[in-house]
């Protein structure tokens, strides 16, 4: 960078491409002095083969150049000497950030302005100066054109200052207020890479900082994102079904979310998926059955909504819309002859180790696992759960239970019998239920040969 800045002295053309665009118009004297000032508080390092004093000087100048290259976000604790005083750091930070303002002011003019300000403060005058006879006479002799030019310069200065201020990183509290997100969420988003990892100096303390524009973009995406649970309710399927769609790529989780939150979606991606299904749907299906009822004919497990929808999207199973407004996945209509294709479908979370799946299930989804209607959810309270509305069940406990238990309604379906006949047969065999109308799967296999 220094070679490019000093190129005219070497008989070469000056190259400013290494400088930020907002700083390229600044007087070279200010840039050189800024690099020197930054090097004075920078931490020096040894370079093998070079004398220590020379190595320290080179590495300090390099730190100043890197900070200038990364303006306005290059002023951080990584390169600052821990022995530098707070006043020295503060003065250089002010000069560093001021590079983006009054770009057309030369170093000499800037120093004269600073000198005048100091003298006015020492005399106890305000920045503008107290109006005296000389001052008022000068004001009286100003022409209209001069006043207009001054007004324009002041407006341009204010605009330049506002633009430079907008480029500066902001602290955690103003960023939290701007995004309308709590500080912990904003810090987690920063750690997750949803916004650029920035820092700012407050004395000798290093504090988190944020790009104003990035915070606004994050806030907009966060406000409009759709959670997997909300989408499950909209589609009429289980939360696990939405997670399957996201894991398989049928519905990309393109809204901002934290790593432990699970997938979130934009309305655009949701509408795109709905549009594909609407486009592929036929007007009607002979001998139709709703997709939710068809999946109930599969064996006892969380339903494979993701693989089933993937078949529909691949045009491998003809289907029709059960209802168009609002769109519902559970009410899509397929032919009864295609139920067997659904029975072979499976979805294993282990196949997607980098995806996040919910550790809990709402009562509606637990009922779906056991092929029960929601009205029977009150009989599932023997399973570990917490909360009310929604009542949340531990996914691992639910899966462990349905792997060993079978319900009388499921037995009736598998044996093509009436539930009452199944109940009588179980009583005759003196079968002991594990819980409400749930029996040991192995024992039932011996009684009914299933």
Q: What is the DSSP string of 226-282?
A: EEHHHHHHHHTS-HHHHHHHHHHTSS---S---TTT--EE-HHHHHHHHHHHHHH-B
Backbone φ, ψ for residue 70 (5° rounding): -95, 15
pLDDT of 169 over the 60 cut: yes
Please, is 293 exposed, middle or buried when counting C-beta atoms within 10 Å of its C-beta (0-12, 13-18, 19+)? middle
Strands 360-362 and 385-386: unpaired
What number of H helices and E strands is found in the chain? 21, 12
pLDDT of 374 over the 50 cut: yes
Cβ contact 321:260 at 8 Å: no
Give the three-state DSSP class for 170. Answer: strand
* Residue from 359, 443, 372, 433 nearest 398 by CA: 359
pLDDT of 425 over the 60 cut: yes
pLDDT of 289 over the 60 cut: yes
pLDDT of 264 over the 60 cut: yes
CB within 8 A of 263, min separation 6: which ones? 228, 242, 243, 246, 253, 257, 355, 356
Please, is 97 exposed, middle or buried when counting C-beta atoms within 10 Å of its C-beta (0-12, 13-18, 19+)? middle
CB within 8 A of 407, min separation 6: which ones? 300, 370, 371, 372, 437, 438, 439
Percent of the chain with pLDDT over 90: 37
User: What pLDDT sits at residue 127?
Assistant: 47
| Average pLDDT for 328-333 | 93
| Average pLDDT for 190-209 | 85
Q: Which of 89-93, 122-126, 171-175, 297-301 has the lowest mean pLDDT?
A: 122-126
Cβ contact 290:330 at 8 Å: yes
* Residue from 322, 271, 315 nearest 293 by CA: 322
Measured from the Cβ of residue 372, the count of other Cβ atoms closer than 10 Å reads: 18
Q: Express each pLDDT in 65-79 by its tens digit.
A: 999 888 888 888 888
CA trace torsion 245, 250, 252, 253 (10° rounding): -10
In whole angstroms, how far apart are CA 127 and each of 115, 242, 435? Answer: 12, 63, 83
Helices (H), 289-360: 291-296, 305-313, 339-343
Between CA 51 and CA 58 the distance in angstroms is 11
pLDDT of 101 over the 80 cut: no
| Average pLDDT for 5-23 | 76
> When comparing pLDDT for 12 and 366, which is higher?
366
> When comparing pLDDT for 439 and 107, which is higher?
439
Between CA 224 and CA 266 the distance in angstroms is 7
Strands 438-440 and 405-407: antiparallel
Q: Domain limits of the chain?
A: 2-126+153-164, 169-223, 227-357, 359-450
> When comparing pLDDT for 237 and 10, which is higher?
237
Measured from the Cβ of residue 263, the count of other Cβ atoms closer than 10 Å reads: 24
- Do you know the residue count of the chain? 450
CA trace torsion 431, 432, 433, 434 (10° rounding): -130
Order of all β-strands in the sheet with 385-386: 360-362, 392-394, 385-386
User: What pLDDT sits at residue 336?
Assistant: 92
Average pLDDT over the chain, rounded to whole? 85
| Average pLDDT for 215-234 | 94
pLDDT of 49 over the 70 cut: yes
User: What pLDDT sits at residue 235?
Assistant: 95
Cβ contact 101:30 at 8 Å: no
Between CA 184 and CA 190 the distance in angstroms is 10
| Average pLDDT for 145-153 | 80
Q: Which residues of 264-284 are buried (b: 16+ CB within 10 A; e: fewer)?
A: bbbeebbeebbeebeeebeee
User: What pLDDT sits at residue 108?
Assistant: 59
Give the three-state DSSP class for 296. Answer: helix
DSSP string, 109-154: HHHHHHHHHHHHHHTT--SS----HHHHHHHHH--HHHHHHHHHHH
> When comparing pLDDT for 366 and 205, which is higher?
366
**Please, which pLDDT band fits residue 103 given cuts at 50, 70 and 90?**
low
Backbone φ, ψ for residue 48 (5° rounding): -55, 130
| Average pLDDT for 407-422 | 87
In whole angstroms, how far apart are CA 403 and each of 186, 351, 442? Answer: 41, 19, 10
Q: Which of 65-69, 72-76, 138-142, 187-191 has the lowest mean pLDDT?
A: 138-142
pLDDT of 106 over the 60 cut: no
């Amino acid at each position: 960078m220094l070679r490019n800045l000093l190129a005219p002295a070497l008989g070469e053309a000056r190259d400013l491409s290494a400088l930020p665009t907002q700083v390229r118009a600044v007087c070279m004297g200010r840039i050189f002095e800024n690099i020197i000032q930054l090097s004075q508080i920078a931490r020096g390092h040894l370079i093998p083969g070079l004398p220590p004093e020379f190595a320290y000087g080179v590495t300090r100048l390099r730190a100043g150049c890197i900070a200038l290259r990364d303006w306005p976000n290059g002023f951080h604790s990584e390169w600052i000497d821990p022995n530098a005083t707070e006043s020295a750091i503060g003065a250089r930070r002010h000069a560093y950030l001021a590079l983006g303002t009054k770009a057309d002011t030369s170093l000499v003019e800037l120093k004269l302005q600073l000198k005048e300000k100091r003298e006015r403060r020492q005399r106890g005058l305000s920045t503008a100066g107290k109006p005296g006879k000389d001052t008022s006479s000068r004001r009286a002799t100003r022409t209209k054109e001069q006043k207009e030019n001054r007004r324009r310069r002041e407006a341009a200065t204010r605009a330049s200052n506002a633009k430079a201020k907008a480029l500066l990183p902001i602290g955690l509290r103003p960023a939290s207020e701007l995004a309308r997100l709590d500080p912990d969420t904003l810090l987690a988003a920063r750690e997750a890479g949803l916004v650029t990892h920035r820092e700012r100096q407050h004395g000798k303390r290093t504090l988190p900082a944020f790009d104003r524009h990035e915070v606004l973009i994050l806030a907009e995406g966060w406000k409009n994102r759709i959670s997997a649970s909300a989408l499950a309710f909209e589609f009429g399927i289980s939360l696990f079904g939405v997670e399957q769609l996201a894991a398989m790529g049928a519905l990309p989780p393109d809204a901002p979310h934290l790593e432990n939150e699970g997938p979130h979606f934009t309305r655009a991606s949701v509408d795109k998926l709905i549009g594909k299904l609407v486009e592929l749907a036929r007007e009607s299906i002979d001998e139709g059955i709703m997709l939710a009822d068809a999946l109930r004919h599969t064996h006892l497990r969380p339903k494979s909504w993701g693989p089933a929808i993937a078949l529909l999207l691949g045009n491998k199973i003809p289907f029709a819309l059960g209802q168009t407004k609002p769109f519902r996945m559970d009410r899509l209509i397929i032919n009864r002859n295609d139920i067997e294709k659904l029975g072979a479908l499976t979805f294993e979370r282990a196949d997607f180790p980098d995806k996040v799946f919910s550790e809990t299930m709402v009562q509606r989804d637990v009922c779906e696992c056991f092929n029960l209607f929601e009205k029977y959810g009150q009989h599932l309270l023997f399973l570990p759960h917490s909360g009310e509305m929604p009542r949340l069940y531990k996914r691992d406990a639910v899966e462990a239970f349905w792997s060993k238990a079978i319900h009388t309604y499921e037995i009736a379906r598998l044996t093509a019998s009436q539930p009452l006949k199944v109940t009588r047969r179980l009583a005759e065999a003196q079968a002991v239920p594990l819980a409400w109308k749930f029996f040991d799967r192995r024992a039932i296999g011996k009684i009914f040969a299933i």
